[in-house]
Homo-oligomer: A and B are copies of this chain.
């Protein structure tokens, strides 16, 4: 970027930061109210005219299939939405799912795994496993599937991959993780160092949601906190995060562990931007550029030959 572009980018980052600081979402609040507010915020903009979102089921798990008019659907992003295992849905992520589907000439299959506190661990993991198994059972080649997860969904995607060996299921071609929540013990240094810098989240509120999901189990259980999982055999992973998030170390430490355990891993950190900043790609240059890099990664792993 040249200096003028940098100025604009700085302005965009400040706007996103202010918007997040001003959002009415108390992430530690009552789940029902929180879900309604989050749904309202994230679906206030209609999807683009070229997007088709079709509800369905996959292995008894509700899901939304998102396709782009005129785009082929022979490659699949199995999508794990964010929301701290308590809020969010395939609809709250549909904007980002559609954006990446369009860039990658793929369809997104976004699953509505069961949420805590009504359905704590292992409900979400079981739903993710069942959905992937059903996807493969429908004849989809795992080489054409990428797991994509945001925040809690990024942790869930990772925990699911780490469980596939025991289930006798093949790995997907690759995984894209946006600001994954991989450590429900909240032990990262960024969990203290980035307080106040993170415009949206503080540890004690995140702890409330961790408690909802963990529900008395061991938060360091690798199936809950895949940062502590055996990652050997996992497919290539692209992990993106912003430097303005208390979850930053959930990404940097996952990357370091994956590298040590012989996983092909790319960690890609953008400074000055918040948690899952790619959601703001339409108004934030850094988000747009980050999704360009995701697209390159996906093309290289799920069939560059098919590239239009």
Contact = CB atoms under 8 A, between A and B. Distances in A.
A267 B265 CA distance: 8
A248 B269 contact: no
A115 to B, nearest CB: 30
A110 B115 CA distance: 56
A286 to B, nearest CB: 9
A17 to B, nearest CB: 13
Nearest to A265: B269
A4 to B, nearest CB: 13
A29 interface: no
Contacts of A256: 249, 252-253, 256
A271 B263 contact: yes
A243 interface: yes
Q: Which of A241, A243, A266, A269 has the most CB of B within 10 A?
A: A269
Contacts of A207: none
A255 interface: yes
Interface string A251-274: 111011011111111111111100
Interface string A268-302: 11111000000000000000010000001000100
Contacts of A8: none
A189 interface: yes
A52 interface: no
Contact of A243 (B249, B260, B267): B260
A54 to B, nearest CB: 31
Indicate the member of A143, A266, A296 with the most B CB atoms within 10 Å. A266
Nearest to A143: B2
A190 interface: yes
A277 to B, nearest CB: 13
Contact of A266 (B189, B252, B263, B266): B266
Interface in A159-210: 189-190, 193
Given A241-B259, A255-B252, A259-B243, A266 B267 contact: yes
Given A267-B267, A269-B265, A296-B296, A189 B260 contact: yes
Contact of A262 (B243, B265, B300): B243
Given A252-B260, A258-B269, 18 more contacts: A243-B261, A243-B263, A248-B259, A249-B260, A252-B255, A252-B256, A253-B256, A255-B267, A256-B256, A259-B267, A259-B269, A262-B272, A263-B269, A264-B271, A265-B269, A266-B267, A267-B268, A289-B300
16 contacts: A189-B260, A193-B260, A241-B259, A243-B260, A248-B260, A252-B256, A252-B260, A255-B255, A255-B269, A259-B271, A264-B271, A265-B269, A266-B266, A266-B268, A267-B268, A289-B300
Interface of A: 2, 143, 189-190, 193, 241, 243, 248-249, 251-253, 255-256, 258-272, 289, 296, 300
